[in-house]
Amino acid sequence: MDSGTLRSWPSRLRSPFDDALAALRRDPMHPVRVHVEDMDVELRAVRTPAPEIPLGDYLASLGPWEGESTEQLLELPREGRRMGGSKEPRRGL
């Protein structure tokens, strides 16, 4: 698509792209097709990936752990064994 094509559209008229963008904003999950100057154009919204940050930095941004203690976490498989589970956890946990 030539950017000059968009600039050449009379400013007093709505461009077909204006209507297509409006439709895409209403429902970004579905692409929109528009016919402009003997050409069929499909517009779709794409997800911009979030910037990757190191896992440690991400976890630090969550703040200090306020959940279960280590002992409480280790009790979960123990409880499962008491209820009939048979697999032993690895040694050294």
Question: Which is more confidently placed, 91 or 74?
Answer: 74
The answer as to whether 62 is a domain residue is no
The answer as to whether 78 is a domain residue is no
The answer as to whether 21 is a domain residue is yes
The answer as to whether 13 is a domain residue is yes
pLDDT digits (tens, 9 = 90+) for 28-84: 999 999 988 899 999 999 988 877 888 888 888 888 777 888 888 888 888 888 888
The answer as to whether 70 is a domain residue is no
**Alpha-helix residue ranges (DSSP H) falling in 1-93:** 3-8, 16-26, 55-62, 70-82
Please say whether the beta carbons of 41 and 33 come within 8 A.
yes
The answer as to whether 86 is a domain residue is no
pTM: 0.40
The answer as to whether 80 is a domain residue is no
Rounded to 5°, angle at Cα 93 from 57 and 62:
20
What is the pLDDT, as a whole number, of residue 85?
73
State the total domains in the chain: 1
The answer as to whether 93 is a domain residue is no
Domain that holds residue 27: 9-43
